[in-house]
């Protein structure tokens, strides 16, 4: 009985450690996204406190629908904590046409800028593809000016 | 601070990518092989106000209103009030009204106290007051954004998702009310286009629909649910244009709902 309890405790501890590390990596992905945002902040962009993040299968495509306002300029920053990844990031209008400009990539980041041609709903599509790992972390943040 | 953390390991087909050949071509939602996330980031009022500033020079002092902390102990009602108070903070920043920002900063602490979130909010409130003293309006705006995000994150952490939605909803109603007021005072098509936000209204309507029965039965939430239907109808525009009448309908509906929210004190 005691042995069973011990096994359960060890399993619980391992699960907790695994969960904690997953969260840590996801937060690290956000740190990289913020690193990509730094030069934009110097150009007068305000970074939103809210962001999206998570862990997905490598290469899994994700999309976020987002409200943009004509007259503002927007920048989106995608970050990952996984090494040797290929990051993709694009923004489309309601008719499915790409509207993003100035795509920049770094070792752990990808950024695009958008001047929305109209106020309305846009779709941000992105993915993180790893050569080594099955699961990848990601964080997507945005700013405006 | 995070809106939503996604852990998704379902294997989905990856053919027909929006990134075909390494560059973005066209996005077809019907053919999209990936996962479209439900979560929506609600814009902060200053994101909308920034556009209005670029299109003219609104008198933001005219848009400011006096607020008082309600006596209510209902956390749902307090969450709605909290959202409106933070949005009022954004209006005060636009107006660069030091005294108003300081008063709103104190209101923020009062309501946070009633919601049991003093510890999380106090550092933000202090930073707001410090930044006001330095005339650092950009920092004040950032702190209001962080305050709202912190409160929502705390509520989500405590599994109070309905309350977190109420914070966003209260903020959006107050932001939309002041934006429509500014647009009405100097109507142009470009300014009116700012109200083309059907996705946000759909998001709020869905949030309210997904609330617990006790939340949905709250008199304010019921009124908001009805108001959102009216607002959504006014946003039906094939070309994204908005007549002064439609702007007026959206404004009046927001005002009526805000009156209900801020009269919590009087009705108890």
Residues B118-145 have pLDDT tens digits of 999 999 999 999 999 999 999 999 999 9
| pLDDT score of A6 | 56
pTM above 0.80, yes or no: yes
Mean pLDDT by 10 residues, chain A (145 residues): 56 51 72 97 94 95 96 97 96 95 95 96 97 95 97
Contact B217, B167 (CB under 8 A): no
Whether chain A has a CB inside 8 Å of the CB on B34: the answer is: yes
Residues contacting residue A19 through CB under 8 Å, at least 6 positions apart: none
User: Residue B234: pLDDT above 80?
Assistant: yes
Span B64-83, pLDDT tens digits: 998 766 778 899 999 999 99
The pair of structure tokens assigned to B229 is: 């239907």
The predicted model gives B158-186 an average pLDDT of 94
Q: How far is B267 from chain A (nearest CA, A)?
A: 34
CB contact under 8 A, A50 and B41: yes
Which has the closest alpha carbon to B179: B42, B41, B60, B95?
Answer: B60
| pLDDT score of B85 | 95
A129 neighbourhood in chain B, CB within 8 Å:
none
CB contact under 8 A, B37 and A22: no
| pLDDT score of B22 | 46
Query: With the CA atoms of A36, A37, A41 and A43 taken in that order, what torsion angle do they form, in degrees rounded to the nearest 10?
Result: 60
DSSP state of B197: -
Token pair 């869905």 is found at B206
Which residues on adjacent β-strands are paired with residue A122? Answer: A66
The predicted model gives B233-238 an average pLDDT of 88
B6, B51, B142 ranked by CB distance to A71: nearest = B51
Which has the closest alpha carbon to B172: B207, B137, B127?
Answer: B207
A66 neighbourhood in chain B, CB within 8 Å:
40-41
Contact B173, B254 (CB under 8 A): yes
CB contact under 8 A, A66 and B40: yes
B39, B54, B197 ranked by CB distance to A52: nearest = B39
Between the alpha carbon of residue B41 and those of residues A20, A38, A142, B4, the distances in Å are 25, 21, 10, 10
User: Residue B61: pLDDT above 50?
Assistant: yes
CB contact under 8 A, B34 and A61: yes
CA gap B129, B35 in Å, rounded: 42
CB contact under 8 A, A98 and B44: no
| pLDDT score of B21 | 44
Q: How far is A10 from chain B (nearest CA, A)?
A: 24
CB atoms within 10 A of CB A9: 10
CA gap B8, A64 in Å, rounded: 14
Q: How far is B93 from chain A (nearest CA, A)?
A: 14
Residue B148: what are its φ and ψ, rounded to 5°? -60, -45
Higher pLDDT, B8 or B227: B227
DSSP state of A107: S
CB contact under 8 A, A88 and B19: yes
Half-sphere exposure of B169 (CA within 13 A, CB side): 31
Whether chain B has a CB inside 8 Å of the CB on A113: the answer is: no
A90, A97, A118 ranked by CB distance to B193: nearest = A118
Say if strands B2-8 and A51-57 run parallel, antiparallel, or are unpaired.
Answer: parallel
The pair of structure tokens assigned to A109 is: 């980041």
The predicted model gives B230-234 an average pLDDT of 96
Residues of chain B above pLDDT 70, percent? 88
| pLDDT score of B196 | 94
Chain B residues 42-101 with a CB less than 8 Å from chain A: 42-44, 46-48, 50-51, 54-55
CB contact under 8 A, A51 and B197: no
| pLDDT score of B15 | 41
Contact B203, B168 (CB under 8 A): no
Q: How far is A7 from chain B (nearest CA, A)?
A: 27
| pLDDT score of B16 | 45
Whether chain B has a CB inside 8 Å of the CB on A2: the answer is: no
A71 neighbourhood in chain B, CB within 8 Å:
50-51, 54-55, 190
The predicted model gives B95-115 an average pLDDT of 93
| pLDDT score of B38 | 86
Chain B residues 146-185 with a CB less than 8 Å from chain A: 146, 148-150
CB contact under 8 A, A69 and B51: yes
3-class DSSP state of B46 = helix
CB contact under 8 A, B26 and A65: no
pLDDT confidence band for B263 (50 / 70 / 90): confident
Query: With the CA atoms of A125, A86, A131 and B15 taken in that order, what torsion angle do they form, in degrees rounded to the nearest 10?
Result: 40
| pLDDT score of B267 | 44
DSSP state of A70: B
**Four-residue CA torsion sign, B82, B260, B39, A126:** negative
| pLDDT score of B105 | 92
| pLDDT score of B157 | 87
pLDDT confidence band for B39 (50 / 70 / 90): confident
Which residues on adjacent β-strands are paired with residue A72? Answer: A70
Q: Quick one: which H or E segment has residue B221?
A: helix B219-234
| pLDDT score of B268 | 39
């Amino acid at each position: 009985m005691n042995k069973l309890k011990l096994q359960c405790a060890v399993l619980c501890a391992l699960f907790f450690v695994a969960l904690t590390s997953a969260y840590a990596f996801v937060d690290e992905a956000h740190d990289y996204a913020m690193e990509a945002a730094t030069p934009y902040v110097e150009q007068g962009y305000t970074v939103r406190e809210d962001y999206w993040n998570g862990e997905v299968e490598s290469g899994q495509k994700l999309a976020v629908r987002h409200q943009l306002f004509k007259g503002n300029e927007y920048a989106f920053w995608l970050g990952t904590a996984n090494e040797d990844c290929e990051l993709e990031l694009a923004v489309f209008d309601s008719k499915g046409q790409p509207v993003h400009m100035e795509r920049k990539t770094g070792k752990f980041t990808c950024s695009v800028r958008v001047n929305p041609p109209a106020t309305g709903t846009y779709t941000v599509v992105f993915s993180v593809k790893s050569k080594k790992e099955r699961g990848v972390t990601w964080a997507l943040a945005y700013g405006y000016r | 601070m995070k809106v939503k953390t996604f852990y998704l390991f379902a294997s989905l087909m990856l053919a027909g990518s929006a990134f075909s050949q390494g560059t973005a071509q066209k996005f077809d939602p019907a053919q999209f092989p990936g996962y479209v996330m439900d979560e929506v980031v609600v814009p902060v009022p200053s994101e909308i106000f920034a556009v209005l500033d670029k299109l003219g020079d609104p008198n933001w002092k005219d848009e400011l209103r006096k607020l008082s902390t309600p006596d209510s102990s209902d956390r749902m009602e307090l969450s709605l009030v909290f959202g409106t108070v933070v949005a009022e903070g954004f209006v005060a920043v636009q107006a660069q009204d030091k005294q108003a920002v300081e008063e709103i900063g104190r209101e923020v602490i009062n309501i946070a106290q009633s919601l049991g979130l003093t510890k999380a909010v106090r550092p933000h409130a202090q930073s707001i007051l410090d930044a006001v003293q330095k005339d650092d309006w950009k920092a004040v705006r950032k702190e209001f954004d962080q305050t709202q995000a912190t409160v929502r994150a705390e509520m989500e952490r405590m599994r109070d998702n309905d309350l977190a939605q109420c914070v966003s909803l209260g903020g959006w109603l107050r932001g939309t009310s002041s934006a429509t007021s500014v647009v009405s005072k100097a109507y142009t098509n470009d300014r009116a286009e700012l109200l083309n936000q059907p996705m946000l209204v759909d998001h709020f309507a869905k949030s309210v629909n997904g609330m617990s029965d006790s939340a949905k039965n709250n008199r304010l939430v019921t009124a908001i649910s009805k108001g959102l239907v009216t607002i959504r109808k006014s946003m039906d525009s094939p070309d994204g244009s908005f007549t002064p009448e439609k702007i007026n309908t959206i404004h009046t509906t927001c005002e009526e709902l805000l009156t209900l929210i801020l009269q919590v004190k009087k009705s108890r």
